[in-house]
Amino acid sequence: MEHFHNIFILWTILLVTIEKGFIAEGLGVNWGTRATHPLPPDIVVKMLKENGFNKVKLFEADPGVLKALGRSGVQVMVGIPNDMLATLSANVRAAEQWVQQNVSSFISKNGVNIRYVAVGNEPFLKAYKDTFLNTTYPALENVQAALIKAGLGRQVKVTVPINADVYQTDTGVPSGGNFRSDIHGLMMKIVKFLSDNGGPLTINIYPFLSLYADPHFPMDFAFFSGTSSPVVDGTISYTNVFEANYDTLVWALEKNGFGSLPVIVGEIGWPTDGDSNANIEYAKKFNQGLLDRISRGIGTPKRPTPPDIYIFGLVDEDAKSTEPGNFERHWGIFYYDGAIKYQLNLGNNQTLKPAKGVRYLARKWCVMAPDANVMDPNLPDSINYACTYADCTSLGYGSSCGGLDVKNNASYAFNMYYQTMNQQKGSCERFHNLSVITTIDPSPSSSNFGRTSSNCRFEIMIDVGRHETKVNPGTSSATKIKHYFSLLLFVLVVVITEM
């Protein structure tokens, strides 16, 4: 009986270990680097590990980022930007060189755990007007051929991240789902190719954009607790747009003979600024609902097993294009500097942890001079100049700093320019004697540096020149869990054998 008691204890520990490791093993995030003052990659990798993000999706093969991910245990999906598709589609040799430089080299020399290569990013988006229609599939073929030639055909899989606008439903319910008629043939070629080569299809789903595009879109249906406006599809009632959207794709795949093709959710999230519906309250509500689904293992009615999900995104990016909207620079669950915007429960009583070791520029801000007149004829041009070269998206209507008066509005613009220019001498003197440097934090209701009782922050940028690049941050929590798991199995086998 004592042997059985020991086995029971060991098995209980094993189950607890598996349960505690679930979040760490299954949580992915997008790491974008379009920032004027990006966090040092080694700090980001440490932040990923401390928060249990063990899968990361990159939009391009940044050497510094990939080196930092070396031997970290973090699984990597590395992206190929759309503007490279033409080159890679025209010449298989170009694809071979890209794979050698950005995949093979980092796997063999740096120990980067690259699992996927994402060929393009939403290349069939209607806004692109067929720009990448003829290059995506040939590029996909050439990259796959290059991976096989490099001996990585089994280890690294290709995928194509697509936007949800590549499929639609004519019936208004998921079961009516099919691919857009104008690209149906092309999608079939891609889907078949992925199926033949063991690659998944990657889909980006943005409930926020549904709300942004249609002011009459039912608010609760955008989140994970919607009940007032369900979409009824036969015996199934869809209470949130994520499940309805995902299952529309699954129906499209089934109708075309690929019902078992793996699907990854490559991007999903909620922005915190740049629009009246982009705020911390809604972002926390959405992302917490998403994390709860992941931790509970909830899939969709068509696919009860949850897919791999990559949250969008990790940190804010102040150099992203604002063509889709001002919110584009505010998708991060962390601020640009790795500070926590809002707290999330990651499961097992784990909460978000901020970046550590971040170094900032000097504690000073550029603001409108106390004696400057808001009626000065040079003020509009000065604000416009500042916002042309710096990020002023938080000043828009409904945004976090949208309620500032004229003077504070100007101060925000002047400071963003000053910080973006690394507080260089003369950068606060460009505004026709309307500005002055201060060492007192001008953030509304500020109590100390960088944290305010409101959500409007007058930033001080990261001092990128003071950070040393460090790589190989060590073993991830996921790797440690796997080692512990293997050890417990070994002990369990020994105990049983001795019986």
Active site residues: 122, 267
Task: Give phi and psi for 397, each to the nearest 5.
Answer: -60, 130
Residue 407 vs residues 363, 374, 436, 441: alpha-carbon distances, Å? 21, 6, 12, 15
Q: Tokens for 214, please give them.
A: 């249609």
For residue 27, the cross-strand partners are 309
Amino acid at site 243: E
Non-local CB neighbours of 412 within 8 Å, separated by 6+ positions: 392, 394, 395, 401, 404, 456, 458
Question: What is the maximum span of the chain, computed from C-alpha positions, in angstroms?
Answer: 90
In the numeric block, which tokens belong to residue 128? 């692109």
Angle between helices 406-420 and 379-389 (to 10 degrees): 40
Nearest to 115 by CA among 145, 162, 147: 147
In the numeric block, which tokens belong to residue 386? 């500042």
Region at 467 (left for phi over 0; alpha for psi -120 to 50; beta for the rest): beta
**Strand bridging mode 27-31 / 201-204:** unpaired
Please say whether the beta carbons of 347 and 367 come within 8 A: no
Task: Give the pair of three-digit tokens for residue 68.
Answer: 């930092």
448 beta partners: 451
Structural contact between residues 400 and 454, judged by C-beta atoms closer than 8 angstroms: yes
* Cα 420 → chain centroid: 23
| Cβ-contact 80, 116 below 8 angstroms | no
Token representation of residue 70: 């070396």
Cis preceding linkage at 474, omega within 30? no
| Contact indicator for 411, 443 with CB cutoff of 8 Å | no
Question: Among 434, 254, 487, 467, which residue's Cα sits nearest to residue 355?
Answer: 467
Rounded Cα–Cα distance for residues 448 and 440 (Å): 10
CB burial readout 461-495, b (16+ within 10 A) else e: bbeeeebeeebebeebbbbebeeeeeebeeebeee
Helix locations, 27-104, DSSP H: 41-50, 63-68, 85-90, 92-99
Structure tokens at 419: 């910080």
